[in-house]
């Protein structure tokens, strides 16, 4: 029997890459598939994010030329040339690897790969993370055998010719199975206290960090303990401010510029303050964590606000618009939710988040990919 060969592709941000890795892992477990991860190649000697994460996860990686489009600039001509070159590079790789299916999770790193697959009549499957789909997925969806959705609302933005199935968003298994006892030990925190996780994404969010600067003391005073991921560029300034206030090194305050073990942070979070990227929201849903969300206002199609609204409508989140966020507004929303470990409103938010979770999304998509690949053989 021929071993199933699969190319997975998604790039630009972790929100595109982590779902691709989760699907790839599920395909390995279900079909013993041979996986090749394709995405954007290194620039100026620096590996792309998808190359770093895919390699770290143990997958073979091949890079091609790819870049985002400057849509209102003469530079778009150069961008199109780069992506066309990437499509030709991807075509050569696919002709050699001969995958039975190519799976894309969006981002500019996936565009040349999926386009090359359509040129070679290799079936493609697309997964869209957000309530408002990205340009790569919208463009390629009519040529896909199937489009898998996280949010039903995304359907209206695609061509009606596309075929859809609601699967939820694939989440890494380590997020779902994270050990709480290990997590409390890892961070040196108290299981009897309410834990607040604050993050603005891998690069941090200035507006969230600034709101936190005048909030740490009041949050700690009401009995909470805090894990705050500042982003690399903001870490030093926050450390300096906390040292001035005598809070640096406080047993109830753990600050990181970047955290490899996000699975452990989510495992013990009772409440989250964060942006509203779809991948992260799917992760906290799997652990049943309610959230105070500050959607990034410049996301394409305002998709973070749409993602946040889906959680808020379900009773799993509170939204603070980016322009309204300051320490006073943050404290007004957070303090009532963290004052006690058994806060009823927060527990209701947690239950609502858990009800939204699709813990088997990766397995569902893997099953669909296997079916499509069999038809295409």
- CATH number (domain holding residue 236): 3.40.50.2000
Cα 303 to Cα 9, 186, 354: the distances in Å are: 21, 34, 22
Q: Are residues 198 and 222 in the same domain?
A: yes
Q: Are residues 97 and 216 in the same domain?
A: no
Q: Are residues 204 and 311 in the same domain?
A: yes
Q: For position 377, what pLDDT does the model report?
A: 54
Confidence of residue 41 (pLDDT cuts 50, 70, 90): very high
Nearest CA to 133 among 15, 38, 25? 15
Confidence of residue 178 (pLDDT cuts 50, 70, 90): very high
Q: For position 376, what pLDDT does the model report?
A: 54
Q: Are residues 109 and 255 in the same domain?
A: no
Confidence of residue 240 (pLDDT cuts 50, 70, 90): very high
Q: For position 11, what pLDDT does the model report?
A: 87
Nearest CA to 34 among 8, 15, 70, 72? 8
Q: Which residues contact 11 (CB under 8 A, 6 or more apart)?
A: 17, 39, 40, 48, 49, 50, 66, 107, 108, 109, 110
Percent of the chain with pLDDT over 70: 99
Nearest CA to 212 among 227, 201, 191, 222? 227
Q: What is the pLDDT of residues 128-167, one digit of tens each?
A: 999 889 888 999 999 999 999 998 889 999 988 899 999 9
Three-state SS at 293 = strand
Q: Are residues 147 and 226 in the same domain?
A: no
Q: Are residues 148 and 51 in the same domain?
A: yes
Range of the domain at 161: 5-171+359-376
Q: Are residues 121 and 181 in the same domain?
A: no
Q: Beta strands of the chain (E only): which ranges?
A: 5-9, 34-40, 60-64, 101-104, 124-128, 146-149, 164-166, 194-199, 224-229, 253-256, 271-274, 290-293, 317-319
pTM of the model: 0.85
Is the pLDDT at 1 greater than 80? The verdict is: no
Q: Are residues 195 and 338 in the same domain?
A: yes
How far is it, in rounded angstroms, from Cα 279 to Cα 358?
12
Q: Are residues 147 and 67 in the same domain?
A: yes
Q: What is the pLDDT of residues 265-299, one digit of tens each?
A: 999 999 999 999 999 999 999 999 999 999 999 98
Size of the chain, expressed as the number of residues it contains:
377
| Number of domains the chain contains | 2
Three-state SS at 131 = coil
Pairing of strands 253-256, 271-274: unpaired
Nearest CA to 228 among 250, 254, 246, 263? 254
Runs of H (alpha helix) within 75-140: 76-97, 111-119, 135-140
Q: Are residues 153 and 166 in the same domain?
A: yes
Q: Are residues 187 and 144 in the same domain?
A: no
DSSP symbol at 214: T
Q: Are residues 226 and 120 in the same domain?
A: no
How far is it, in rounded angstroms, from Cα 28 to Cα 75?
40
Percentage helix, strand, coil for the chain under 3-state DSSP, each rounded to 5:
50, 15, 35
């Amino acid at each position: 029997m021929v071993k199933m060969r699969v190319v997975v592709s998604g790039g630009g941000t972790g929100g595109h890459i982590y779902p691709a890795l989760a699907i790839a892992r599920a395909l390995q477990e279900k079909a013993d598939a041979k996986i090749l991860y394709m995405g954007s190649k290194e620039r100026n000697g620096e590996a792309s994010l998808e190359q770093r994460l895919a390699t770290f996860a143990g997958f073979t990686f091949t890079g091609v030329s790819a870049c985002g489009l400057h849509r209102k600039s003469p530079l778009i001509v150069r961008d199109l040339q780069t992506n066309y070159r990437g499509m030709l590079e991807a075509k050569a790789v696919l002709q050699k690897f001969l995958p039975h299916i190519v799976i894309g999770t969006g981002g500019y790193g996936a565009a040349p790969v999926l386009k090359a697959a359509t040129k070679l009549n290799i079936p493609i499957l697309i997964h869209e993370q957000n309530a408002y789909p990205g340009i790569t997925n919208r463009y390629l969806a009519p040529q896909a055998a199937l489009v898998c959705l996280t949010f039903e609302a995304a359907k209206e933005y695609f061509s009606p010719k596309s075929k859809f199935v609601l699967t939820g968003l694939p989440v890494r298994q380590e997020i779902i199975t994270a050990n709480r006892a290990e997590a409390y030990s890892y961070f040196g925190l108290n299981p009897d206290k309410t834990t607040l996780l604050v993050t603005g994404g891998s690069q941090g969010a200035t507006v969230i960090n600034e709101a936190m600067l005048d909030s740490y003391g009041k949050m700690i005073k009401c009995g909470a303990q805090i894990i705050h991921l500042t982003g690399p560029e903001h870490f030093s300034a926050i450390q300096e401010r906390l040292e001035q206030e005598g809070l640096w090194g406080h047993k109830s305050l753990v600050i990181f510029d970047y955290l490899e073990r996000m699975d452990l942070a989510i495992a013990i979070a009772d409440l989250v303050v964060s942006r509203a990227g779809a991948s992260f929201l799917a992760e906290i849903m799997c652990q049943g964590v309610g959230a105070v969300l500050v959607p990034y206002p410049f996301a394409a199609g305002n998709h973070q606000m749409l993602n946040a609204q889906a959680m808020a409508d379900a009773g799993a989140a509170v939204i603070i618009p980016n322009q309204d966020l300051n320490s006073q507004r943050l404290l007004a929303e957070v303090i009532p939710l963290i004052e006690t470990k058994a806060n009823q409103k927060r527990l209701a938010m947690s239950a609502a988040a858990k009800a939204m979770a699709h813990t088997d999304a990766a397995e569902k998509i893997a099953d669909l990919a296997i079916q499509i690949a069999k038809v295409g053989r």
